[in-house]
Amino acid sequence: MSTDLDRSTVETAYARWALIYDAVCGPVMVKGRRAAAAAACAIGGKILEVGVGTGLSFDDYDAGTEITGIDMSAPMLAKARAKMASGRYPHVRDVLQMDAHRMSFADATFDCVVAQFVITLVANPEQVLSECHRVVKPGGRIILVNHLYSEVGVAAAVERWAAKRTRALGLRPEFPFARLAAWAQSNAEAALIERRKVAPFYTLVCFERTSPMAA
């Protein structure tokens, strides 16, 4: 049986999270969120944020970026649109309700794709990665930040214990880096550029879409 989360579980969980997400998750995720946004800002241009949620990351981008966000949670997007309506975020072009497994964007649309705390939660992580790869330009980056499975030791045991108990909350603490690496190895036009720890317990992973000639 797959240990991936199904769509209905995630949608139900994040409809509940919408009201308290900024207050509860904002402080916990701030370092990982800012690390991912900083890596994207270094590239600049047109940036897609997958799983934009309530727009918690809007403050982390600058005028050198043009942000499009997608999410499948309507209640979360309502919060993001309220932030946009304040006029504080002219660099945010649009937020759309969309399934990251089947994006409606044309190939090679974005300079960078960012997915913060998302890839471990989707029903099919490899399919979402392939969609991110499809919509980013050759030479562009896919930037992920997540808690990834510790794999060994006490931390790994705790994550395995917590896995079943946190599924209803839309969480998955036992997702391994090996799945990300295996996806990249199976894709001739994807290269792992960076993997580094971000305090307190996150990992930033960056892939580049290489050109066919470079592969």
> What's the pLDDT tens digit per position in 148-203?
754 444 343 344 434 444 444 344 445 788 899 999 999 999 999 999 999 878 89
**Quick one: pLDDT at residue 130?**
98
Count Cβ atoms within 10 A of the Cβ of residue 110 and give its class: 0-12 exposed, 13-18 middle, 19 or more buried: buried
What percent of the chain stands above pLDDT 70?
A: 77
**Quick one: pLDDT at residue 11?**
60
CA angle 20, 90, 134 (to 5 degrees): 80
What token pair was written down for 143? Answer: 């930037």
Average pLDDT on 110-127 reads: 92
Average pLDDT on 130-137 reads: 98
Average pLDDT on 86-107 reads: 97
Sequence-ordered list of residues with C-beta below 8 angstroms from that of 88, at least 6 positions apart, any chain: 58
**Quick one: pLDDT at residue 69?**
98
For residue 207, pLDDT beyond 60: yes
- Quick one: pLDDT band at residue 147, thresholds 50, 70, 90? confident
Asked if 191 and 207 touch (Cβ cutoff 8 Å), the reply is: yes
Average pLDDT on 30-45 reads: 96
**Quick one: pLDDT at residue 153?**
43
**Quick one: pLDDT at residue 157?**
39
- Quick one: pLDDT band at residue 27, thresholds 50, 70, 90? confident
**Quick one: pLDDT at residue 15?**
60
